[in-house]
């Protein structure tokens, strides 16, 4: 057989991967099997551990074999637009995987083991019926791009994921998001999350990513509200705003200084240990905390950061609702602060651009 490093078998109407591949003198490193009629990944293919790029988009594959980790040199796996309904836990054993595309399937959940992919740079989960994202995605320490477009059942993005320091692109248009994470990494360059019809306000951290194109999106009213969600009403247009899950108390500006709860101070001190050890990854340490709620807060991460000093905020914070001056869009922005000191300094720096809007807590 002739030597070959790239094999192009796309658009061939194959119903099975040709077993001829097993007899190549040198196993191809890059295999294209796009837009065929494949229904499975054969066990014998997993013996070809020289494969680095495997393109299987546009087939009818209904499962990824548990032994997928045998492709130990795999760097690129595109299995988008197939019939997958789950991902095996063993996906985390693909230690060299850099790009993973699972878009356009019927996947409902992502295994926590995905956090073991330490070389992963691009993850695409778009167009799946995924309801929640595992916070372990934040442990993919080289992740640069995360695509979540069209996840119609996804209600929120874990804050620890939105604040990944490595993340350069975060795209989550056309999802079911009720609100945007209150803060995002300051290093992120590209954000596409505003085309979510149930979002009623934009955290101020997103202001530099917000364009006039997205200002035309019209919000639709929510038909049901879960009782555990924290709602306020801004008084200028009486619009109901949903604050991040985990919010227990918010304080108006002006308000009494030092209103942020002692509980938040305690969580902040515990989180400080992350500078020395990744405490949120160690259950043996988390289990020593006095309450399950405290354990969950540390594991899931803070729900926001102070928009002036970047201090972490977990359950309580000073809240300011603002709108742009001289703007016809009337987009509502929200700002979170750890103290009156920070809110006053932020407003003094931004009063020429924004004006504050009064708000009240919705009891019902």
Angle between helices 292-300 and 262-272 in degrees, nearest 10: 60
The distance of Cα 171 from the centroid of its chain, to the nearest Å, equals 8
In the chain, what percentage of residues exceed pLDDT 70? Answer: 94
The H-or-E segment that residue 242 falls in is strand 239-243
What is the per-residue pLDDT for 256? 81
More confident residue, 205 or 260: 205
Average per-residue pLDDT for the chain: 89
Report yes or no: 192 and 213 within 8 Å, Cβ to Cβ.
no
pLDDT in tens, 174-196: 999 999 998 888 889 999 998 89
- Long-range CB pairs of 210-217 (<8 Å, 24+ gap) are 210/331, 212/329, 215/329, 215/331
CB 225 within 8 A of CB 202: no
Q: Is the pLDDT score of 281 beyond 80?
A: no
Query: What are the C-alpha distances in Å from 306 to residues 203, 238, 309, 315, 334?
Result: 11, 26, 6, 12, 11
CA angle 356, 358, 364 (to 5 degrees): 140
Task: Give the Cα separation of 239 and 123 in Å (integer).
Answer: 35
Structure tokens, 290: 């006095």
pLDDT 10s digits, 109-135: 999 999 999 999 999 999 999 999 999
**Length of the chain in terms of residues written:** 364
Task: Dump the DSSP string for 64-81.
Answer: --GGGGG-TT--EEE--S
State the number of CA atoms in the 13 A half-sphere of 304 facing the CB: 30
Mean pLDDT of 79-106: 97
Give which of 47, 37, 40, 44 is closest to 15, Cα–Cα: 37
Structural contact between residues 9 and 32, judged by C-beta atoms closer than 8 angstroms: yes
* pLDDT bracket for residue 223 (50, 70, 90): very low
H or E element, residue 337: strand 332-337
Question: What pLDDT does 73 receive?
Answer: 96
* Burial per residue of 273-294, b for 16 or more beta-carbon CB atoms within 10 angstroms, e otherwise: eeeeeebbeeeebbeebeeeeb
Report whether pLDDT(40) > 90. Answer: yes
Choose the most confident range, by mean pLDDT, from 142-156, 197-211, 242-256: 142-156
Q: Which one has a higher pLDDT value, 122 or 301?
A: 122
Residue 214, pLDDT > 80, answer: no
Given a contact cutoff of 8 angstroms between Cβ atoms, the answer to whether 233 and 252 are in contact is: no
The sign of the CA dihedral 268, 272, 273, 275 is positive
Higher pLDDT, 280 or 163: 163
| Selected residue with higher pLDDT from 174 and 301 | 174
CB neighbourhood size of 25 (10 A): 8
Q: Which 3 state secondary structure label does DSSP give 7?
A: strand
* Arithmetic mean of pLDDT, 324-338: 89
């Amino acid at each position: 057989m002739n030597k070959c490093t790239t094999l192009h078998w796309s658009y061939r109407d194959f119903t099975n991967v040709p077993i001829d591949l097993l007899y190549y003198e040198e196993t191809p490193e890059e295999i294209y099997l796009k837009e065929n009629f494949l229904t499975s990944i054969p066990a014998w293919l997993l013996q070809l551990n020289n494969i680095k790029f495997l393109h299987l988009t546009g087939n009818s594959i209904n499962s990824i074999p548990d032994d997928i980790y045998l492709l130990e040199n795999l760097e690129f796996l595109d299995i988008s637009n197939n019939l997958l309904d789950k991902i095996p836990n063993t996906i985390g054993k693909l230690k060299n995987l850099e790009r993973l595309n699972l878009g356009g399937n019927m996947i409902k959940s992502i295994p926590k083991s995905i956090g073991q992919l330490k070389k992963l740079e691009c993850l695409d989960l778009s167009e799946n019926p995924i309801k929640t994202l595992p916070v372990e995605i934040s442990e993919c320490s080289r992740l640069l791009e995360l695509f979540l477009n069209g996840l119609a059942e996804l209600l929120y993005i874990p804050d620890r994921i939105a604040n990944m320091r490595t993340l350069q692109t975060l795209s989550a248009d056309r999802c079911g998001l009720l609100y945007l994470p209150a803060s995002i990494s300051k290093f992120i360059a590209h954000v596409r999350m505003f085309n979510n019809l149930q979002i009623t306000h934009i955290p101020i951290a997103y202001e530099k990513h917000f364009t006039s194109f997205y200002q035309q999106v019209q919000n639709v009213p929510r038909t049901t509200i879960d009782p555990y969600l924290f709602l306020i009403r801004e008084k200028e247009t009486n619009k109901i705003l949903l604050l991040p899950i985990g919010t227990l108390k918010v304080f108006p500006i002006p308000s009494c200084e030092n209103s942020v709860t002692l509980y938040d101070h305690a969580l902040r001190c515990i989180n400080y240990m992350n500078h020395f050890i990744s405490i949120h990854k160690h259950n043996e340490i988390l289990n020593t905390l006095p309450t399950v709620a405290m354990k969950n807060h540390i594991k899931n991460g803070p729900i926001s950061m102070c928009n002036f000093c970047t201090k972490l905020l977990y359950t309580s914070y000073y809240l300011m609702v603002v709108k742009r001056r001289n703007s016809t869009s009337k987009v509502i922005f929200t700002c979170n602060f750890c103290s009156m000191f920070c809110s006053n300094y932020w407003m003094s720096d931004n009063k020429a651009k924004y004006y504050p809007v009064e708000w009240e807590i919705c009891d019902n």
